[in-house]
């Protein structure tokens, strides 16, 4: 594969969880712009419909289905619907996630822990298992899990979040080893702080916002569209020899 076609996703079925807003929407827009047939999922119908309307208005191909990634039956059903309507997925982007709650482990309730682990880690496992089976049967596929710098290094007051994202990093590597001989690649993209609903409290926070930009070599938060390029790369034939990798898109955070 060479030259201009390297990133072409022409007609490939690309599922983006949490694809209605934030980083997920930017990823869905970018995959569609590269020719992917995009399926966005999440819990809010209105948000998903909006994202699909935007993609279609730009000439892209997109559909939406609701699914709560914490609910095994809904994830199983989602994978069945996608396979029935479009055939086995080529690309799965596990982006759906919930925020850190900014408290130490000693103050974290089991309910808070279960919500974060259930969405950010168990939800990723379930989607990888269900869509992974389709990809293994087809003998090809690319899964991209959105982890975080908090999955590579400890961040203060985010114990459950870091545990969930660290789990995603190693779940990714383990599946990558198992599935490499069968044509299915599994990688992570690990963003630092990106301006979305999830971080709106931080961006505007006079102390924490400045602390984050001060710690980031590029001295700013990232934008959602800046995460999408790494995902397109990993989804495409430009990355056919890349698996079990985690690409930091972090303004230099993990280099410092």
Ligand X SMILES: NC(=O)c1ccc[n+]([C@@H]2O[C@H](COP(=O)([O-])OP(=O)(O)OC[C@H]3O[C@@H](n4cnc5c(N)ncnc54)[C@H](OP(=O)(O)O)[C@@H]3O)[C@@H](O)[C@H]2O)c1
Q: Residue 68 or 237: which CB sits closer to ligand X?
A: 68
Quick check: 150 and 161 in contact, CB under 8 A? yes
Q: Residue 145 or 236: which CB sits closer to ligand X?
A: 145
Residue 96 beta carbon to ligand X: minimum distance, rounded to whole angstroms:
3
Q: Residue 47 or 128: which CB sits closer to ligand X?
A: 47
Look at residues 77, 168, 64, 71 and name the one whose alpha carbon lies nearest to residue 124.
Answer: 168
Residues that bind ligand X (CB under 6 A): 17-18, 20-24, 42-44, 47, 68-70, 95-98, 119, 146, 148, 191, 193-194, 196-199
Residue 182 beta carbon to ligand X: minimum distance, rounded to whole angstroms:
26
Note the residue count of the chain.
256
* Residue 95 phi, psi dihedral angles, 5° rounding: -110, -25
Q: Does the active-site annotation cover 161?
A: yes
Question: How far apart, in whole angstroms, are the C-alpha atoms of residue 185 and residue 193?
Answer: 26
Question: How far apart, in whole angstroms, are the C-alpha atoms of residue 177 and residue 147?
Answer: 18
Residue 23 beta carbon to ligand X: minimum distance, rounded to whole angstroms:
4
First-to-final CA distance of the chain:
35
Residue 99 beta carbon to ligand X: minimum distance, rounded to whole angstroms:
7
Structure tokens given for 33: 């712009």
C-alpha distances (whole Å) from 16 to each of 9, 88, 100, 113, 166 are: 14, 14, 21, 24, 21
Radius of gyration of the chain (CA): 17
Question: How far apart, in whole angstroms, are the C-alpha atoms of residue 168 and residue 121?
Answer: 6
Structure tokens given for 55: 């993609």
241 sits in the region (left: phi over 0; alpha: psi -120 to 50; else beta) called alpha
Q: Residue 97 or 132: which CB sits closer to ligand X?
A: 97
Angle at 43 between CA 42 and CA 45, to 5 degrees: 95
Quick check: 90 and 141 in contact, CB under 8 A? yes
Q: Residue 136 or 208: which CB sits closer to ligand X?
A: 208
Q: Residue 125 or 193: which CB sits closer to ligand X?
A: 193
Residue 24 beta carbon to ligand X: minimum distance, rounded to whole angstroms:
5
Pick the catalytic residue from 102, 161, 193, 241: 161
Residue 22 beta carbon to ligand X: minimum distance, rounded to whole angstroms:
2
Known catalytic residues are 161
């Amino acid at each position: 594969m060479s030259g201009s076609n390297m990133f072409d996703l022409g007609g490939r079925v690309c599922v983006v969880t949490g694809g209605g807003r934030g980083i997920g929407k930017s990823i869905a827009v970018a995959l569609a712009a590269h020719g992917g047939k995009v399926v966005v999922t999440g819990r809010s119908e209105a948000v998903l419909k909006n994202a699909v309307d935007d993609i279609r208005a730009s000439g892209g191909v997109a559909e939406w289905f609701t699914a709560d990634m914490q609910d095994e039956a809904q994830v199983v059903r989602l994978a069945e619907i996608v396979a029935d309507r479009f055939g086995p997925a080529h690309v799965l982007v596990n982006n759906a996630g919930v925020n850190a709650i900014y408290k130490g482990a000693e103050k974290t309730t089991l309910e808070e822990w279960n919500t974060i682990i259930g969405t950010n880690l168990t939800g990723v496992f379930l989607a990888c298992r269900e869509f992974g089976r389709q990809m293994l049967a087809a003998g090809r596929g690319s899964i991209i899990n959105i982890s975080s710098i908090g999955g590579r290094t400890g961040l203060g007051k985010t114990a459950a979040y870091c545990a969930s994202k660290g789990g995603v990093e190693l779940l990714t590597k383990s599946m990558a080893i198992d599935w490499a001989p069968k044509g299915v690649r599994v990688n992570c993209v690990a963003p630092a702080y990106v301006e979305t609903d999830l971080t709106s409290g931080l961006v505007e926070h006079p102390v924490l916002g400045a602390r984050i930009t001060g710690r980031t070599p590029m001295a700013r938060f990232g934008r959602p569209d800046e995460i999408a390029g790494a995902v397109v790369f990993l989804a495409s034939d430009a990355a056919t020899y890349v698996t079990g990798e985690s690409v930091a898109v972090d303004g230099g955070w993990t280099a410092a």
